[in-house]
Structure 1
Amino acid sequence: EKSKRRKKMEVANILHMTEGIGDSSYAKNSLFQQKVILATKSITCEAISALYHSLSTWETIRIAELGCSSGPNTYLPVLQLIHTIREKCTENGQKLPEFHVFFNDLPGNDFNTIFRLLTTFYEDLKKQNMRSEDGLFDPPNCFVAAVAGSFYTRLFPSKKLHFVHSSYSLHWLSQVPDGIENNKGTIYASSTSPSSVLKAYSKQYKRDFATFLKYRSEELVKGGRMVLAMPGKENEHHLSNVCRFMLEPLAIALKDLVTEGSIEEEKMDSFNVPTYSPSPAEIQYVVEKEGSFTIDLLRTLEHQMDSSCEGYNEAQSVRAFAQPLLVSHFGDDNKLMDVVFNKCREIYANTMAKEKNIFTNVIVSLIKS
């Protein structure tokens, strides 16, 4: 039990996107994640609209963005939500409420970049107001705070949140699953993994997602809403095309380095990425078993990745999330990291760019029972 807790803590301490706004940063290499947020905008806005009609008082709306990372994507869903509430208030001749927004991620997240972009966020809110038809409202009173911690733990006081949003975060597990020592030659739940490894990843996901639901149910008001978007798969008999696209080139690159003698085979075999992309059936099973939420909407959304012939953009996207994990396991060697991701770039350019890369995302809209 102690070793399990230690493994879980290690993931919470090392898992974060590459910070800053440089060429390798998540802020500069998260266009695909932005497209998912935009593609799910209608679902998010429908959920907040339904919440607006269901609650009697709207003095303050508390919104949590979980797994917010850093960069322009962090504020995008919040802008969408506030814009929707503004429209509803205008339609009903009501005063715009105050907003309290909480940005959550693990302690290693680059919260500094989030707050550096705060001025831009407030400017965007003012532009929304200027574009409103009647100009009745001043820019909304919106108060922003950061909450550092794993969303697999309690983060907020009881019954205080109205709306929770999370996009492309819940595929990250609280720990590398136990019992996957035989997952050799790859770094995730891949087509070459033994069935026991696939089951272990699925079991860890279900345990983590149930924990997530339990804690959010304690923090949301009755009738509160959640919209969650994550990379997924069509059904439990398929493997995630998102995982394959993002992780298979990295696995191949590491195997090449083993062959070249740059890293030890045992070192690669002990490296596994703590990520799992669920099917709608798996999500439904956990939600119904945990029992705190009812499903308002559950659907898959297909999205195509625009590949570049050079493979540079794809390799940079992988580097933005994978480098901190690699550094923790293989050591802080910049030359080695450059070699790894140059190999990834070549693999994307020579192989993956020729494929029609259509990804399956799963979106679920939930209501607190």
Structure 2
Amino acid sequence: MSKKMQQVFRMKEGTDETSYAKTSYIQKQVQSLTKPMREKAIKEFYCREQPTILCIADLGCSSVELSNLSPVFGLLETVENARRELEKGPQEYQIYLNDLPRNDFNTIFRSLGSFGEKLKQEMRDDFGHYFVYGAPGSFHGRLFPSNHLHFIHSSYSLHWLSQVPKGIEDNKGNIYIAKTSPPHVLKAYYEQFERDFWTFLRCRSEEVVAGGMMVLTLMGRKSTEPYSKKSCLIFDMFATALNDMVVEGFIEEDKLNTFSIPIYTPSEEELGFMVEKEGSFNLNQVLITEVNWKPSEQYKNPYDKSSDHANFTNCMRAVAEYLLISHFGEAILEEVFRRYKKMVKVSMAKEKNVFTNITVSLTRKG
């Protein structure tokens, strides 16, 4: 990942009501939908290999409380159930939590106490030992020793690019792939994603043991065309808000024309092609899911009486705030999100808005 991206890209830290930890209901819903797939994969690996120490990594874990959003508890619970079925003794676990160095690891590690209490309450007396480590760094490079990991999980991280694609300077008025983007802009975004995903797979192929497994979830699209309303509308609305602010003198036009979101939402076909092209992993299973912009009742904060469009805006703000601040400065932030929230409200009233997600289960070839 470029040094600039490592400096500016992170989720909103802390545990207050505007933090990523408290507003990321979309991510929670996605992880709930993909839970059976990742727990099936880790059970399959454990029953086949039965390692003395099971090494698990969560890549792009973000600044969440370990006992809440992290999928680690479910993975341990699955292995523990399988272990008892096999009548094996206590299991030891090494758990690695990865994100960029500027991520709020403090929030994660402050939650270790409550995570331990949860394990004590819900696991039996024969539960073994677990050891949690921070692994700061970009997953677009090496993170772990060779042949070390047994299972990797990543959710809602790999669609982020290591850098803004080169050669997209004439994508004026847009901040991502849009209907008006020139064809070479779409090509540049795809080729950057292809390079990044290939590098990710190659690095993990060196770190994961033969037979080890990965379950990866990305924001994606069902359409074969790079522009898809479902995956691009959230950025179209940001672009509209920013363009209006240029017209009204809040932002300089040159500032807008040099701002781009470093993200790519692949199709199932593109992911399958890249896995085959890199060649280190077998593709076991693909799952396509959709989540509504509106929080389901299960994931609504009972203490937050905000409207659905306000909740969604806060969710997006926790993700995008630092990208906007790093380029435009903090002064425009409230105005951008005031306008964005109005557009989200109109859109939600007219139609059902969803995110499309693609989850793949991979096994490291021997």
What band does the TM-score fall into relative to the shorter chain?
over 0.9
Q: Please say if 1:154 is aligned against 2:142.
A: yes
Give the Å deviation of 1:357. 1.1
State the partner residue of 1:351: 347
Name structure 2 gaps, 5 residues minimum.
296-305
Q: If the length of structure 2 is used for normalisation, what is the TM-score?
A: 0.93
Aligned to 1:232, which of 220, 230, 233? 220
State the partner residue of 1:367: 363
State the one-letter code of the partner of 1:319: R
Aligned to 2:48, which of 51, 54, 60? 54
Q: If the length of structure 1 is used for normalisation, what is the TM-score?
A: 0.92
State the partner residue of 2:319: 321
Give the Å deviation of 1:75. 5.4
- When the two chains are superposed, the root-mean-square deviation of aligned CA atoms in Å is 1.7
Q: Please say if 1:87 is aligned against 2:76.
A: no
User: Cα distance 1:242–1:95, how it changes in 2: closer, same or farther (>3 A)?
Assistant: farther
State the partner residue of 1:340: 336
State the partner residue of 1:304: 292
Aligned to 1:38, which of 13, 32, 35? 32
Aligned to 1:106, which of 100, 103, 107? 100
Give the Å deviation of 1:286. 0.7
| Secondary structure of residue in 2 paired with 1:287 | helix
Q: Distance in 2 between matches of 1:253 and 1:43?
A: 38
Q: Distance in 1 between matches of 2:103 and 2:76?
A: 24
State the partner residue of 1:68: 61
Superposition pairs for residues 1-40 of structure 1, below 5 Å?
8-40=2-34
State the partner residue of 1:184: 172
Give the Å deviation of 1:203. 0.7
User: Cα distance 1:119–1:240, how it changes in 2: closer, same or farther (>3 A)?
Assistant: farther
Aligned to 1:282, which of 266, 270, 274? 270
Q: Decide whether the 8 Å contact of 1:296 with 1:367 is kept in 2.
A: yes
The farther-off stretch of 182-191 and 263-272 is: 182-191
User: Cα distance 1:352–1:191, how it changes in 2: closer, same or farther (>3 A)?
Assistant: farther
Corresponding pairs, count:
354
| Secondary structure of residue in 2 paired with 1:311 | helix
Q: Distance in 2 between matches of 1:18 and 1:245?
A: 22
Q: Distance in 2 between matches of 1:17 and 1:283?
A: 25
User: Cα distance 1:48–1:283, how it changes in 2: closer, same or farther (>3 A)?
Assistant: same
User: Cα distance 1:157–1:240, how it changes in 2: closer, same or farther (>3 A)?
Assistant: farther
Q: Decide whether the 8 Å contact of 2:294 with 2:312 is kept in 1.
A: no
Q: Deviations over 1:148-177 (max 9, x none)?
A: 100001000000100000000001000000
User: Cα distance 1:352–1:267, how it changes in 2: closer, same or farther (>3 A)?
Assistant: farther
State the one-letter code of the partner of 1:357: N
Q: Distance in 2 between matches of 1:314 and 1:256?
A: 21
Q: Please say if 1:137 is aligned against 2:165.
A: no
State the partner residue of 1:193: 181
- Identical pairs, percent: 44
Q: Decide whether the 8 Å contact of 1:235 with 1:280 is kept in 2.
A: no
Q: Decide whether the 8 Å contact of 2:293 with 2:312 is kept in 1.
A: no
User: Cα distance 1:240–1:47, how it changes in 2: closer, same or farther (>3 A)?
Assistant: farther
Q: Distance in 2 between matches of 1:37 and 1:86?
A: 20
| Secondary structure of residue in 1 paired with 2:264 | coil
Q: Decide whether the 8 Å contact of 2:161 with 2:196 is kept in 1.
A: yes
Q: Decide whether the 8 Å contact of 2:230 with 2:356 is kept in 1.
A: yes
Q: Please say if 1:172 is aligned against 2:160.
A: yes
Name structure 1 gaps, 5 residues minimum.
130-134
Give the Å deviation of 1:204. 0.5
User: Cα distance 1:159–1:120, how it changes in 2: closer, same or farther (>3 A)?
Assistant: same
Give the Å deviation of 1:198. 1.0
User: Cα distance 1:72–1:35, how it changes in 2: closer, same or farther (>3 A)?
Assistant: farther
